Amino acid sequence: MTAHHDATLADSYNFAYLDEQTKRMIRRAILKGVAVPGYQVPFASREMPMPYGWGTGGVQVTAACLTPDDRLKVIDQGADDTTNAVSIRKFFQRTAGVAVTESTVEATLIQTRHRIPESALTAGQILVYQVPIPEPLRFLEPRETETRKMHELEEYGLIHVKLYEDIARHGTIATAYAYPVKVEGRYVMDPSPIPKFDNPKLSNSPALQLFGAGREQRIYALPPFTHVVSLDFDDHPFEASKAPHDCDLCGASDSYLDEVITDDQGGRMFVCSDTDFCRVRQEAGHLGAMAVPNLAGSA
């Protein structure tokens, strides 16, 4: 058996698409990532039957972790029903035969693009992030040899300078997504383009968090109960901000909201970005400002 099956053979013989040697390589990288939280482990990313923007790094980490007993949830910016999420979910149903769910609570493994679910994650769950640019220092220093050196020497002054320039220019830290964090007082890490509203959920989570970057060929990890701090300053402490509204469908005041244009007259509404969270709340009878007429109309 070789690592170079054609696509048809791969589909029929390889659990979760990847051949065993590739999965072993990815699994070893994941274990080293767990052993050194926040450090980016290089791995030999494989071609996947989907474009890079579709989360090939996350898909490879998920493929290496899945067992036939898993219940997989896939979300794209909080939603289970986008093309990207549906495609990835179908891919693993077909290649690994796993059960799937939209319920955060019932899922054993969740692959996500750009959000952390609102419902608290629990022990035993794995959250796999799709990461476009894993290196938090890349926009300060394009050379890999240099950023590696900066991590080695804990030379993180430049990234603080960048955040402080935000404050000087805007009066506040303007970075709203992919807000950098420090892991266990050692490595500065890019949490992927989640809104900074989600940053506090990175820390001390009972779930295992794994990060996969396909094009950049990096895997990193946050074991459960890892201490994660968003970078900030004494005079400008980190704030996990969100739109100052309640969800118009479920009334939640504490969830991350998307602004949705509802008509061409400038109508708009704010709804939970986490579609499962919003649906569960509505089913439990929680109604937002714009939910009642809809429900009455459909009854």
Which spans of this chain sit near other proteins (rule: CB under 8 A)?
A: 14-16, 20-21, 23-25, 27-37, 39, 41-42, 64-69, 124, 148-149, 151-152, 184, 186-187, 206, 208, 221-227
What phi and psi values does residue 112 have, to the nearest 5 degrees? -135, 145
| Residue 79 binding Zn ion, by CB under 5 A | no
DSSP code, position 233: B
Q: Is 272 in the site for Zn ion (CB under 5 A)?
A: yes
Helix, strand, or coil here: 53? helix
Residues 201-260 interacting with Zn ion (rule: CB under 5 A) = 247, 249-250, 252
Least distance from C-beta 247 to Zn ion, angstroms? 3
Alpha helix positions (H), 49-156: 56-65, 83-96, 144-152
| Residue 264 interacts with which of Zn ion, other proteins, none, CB < 5 to 8 Å by class | none
- Helix/strand number for the chain, H first, E second: 8, 12
> What are the catalytic residues?
38, 247, 250, 272, 278
Enter the tokens of residue 256: 């991350």
Nearer to Zn ion, 130 or 255 (CB): 255
Q: Residue 230 in contact with residue 195, Cβ under 8 Å? A: no
Greatest extent of the chain over all pairs of C-alpha atoms, in Å: 63
Nearer to other proteins, 153 or 296 (CB): 153
Taking the complex as a whole, the smallest distance from the CB of residue 265 to other proteins amounts, in Å, to: 52
Residue (of 183, 207, 237, 238) closest to 40 by Cα position: 183
Q: Does 269 bind Zn ion (CB under 5 A)?
A: no
C-alpha angle 265/269/271, rounded to 5°? 155
Q: Residue 48 or residue 208: which is nearer to other proteins going by CB?
A: 208
Of 88 and 222, nearer to other proteins (C-beta) is 222
Closest by Cα among 77, 99, 120, 123 to 223: 123
Cβ nearer to other proteins, comparing 228 with 249: 228
Residue 35 binds which entry of Zn ion, other proteins, none, with Cβ cut-offs from 5 to 8 Å by kind?
other proteins
Taking the mean position of all CA atoms in its chain, how far away is CA 299? 36
Q: Could you give phi then psi for residue 273, rounded to 5 degrees? A: -70, -30
* Residue 250 binds which of other proteins, Zn ion, none (CB < 5-8 A, kind-dependent): Zn ion
Provide, rounded to whole angstroms, the least separation between the CB of residue 272 and Zn ion: 3
Rule CB under 5 A: which residues touch Zn ion?
A: 247, 249-250, 252, 272, 278
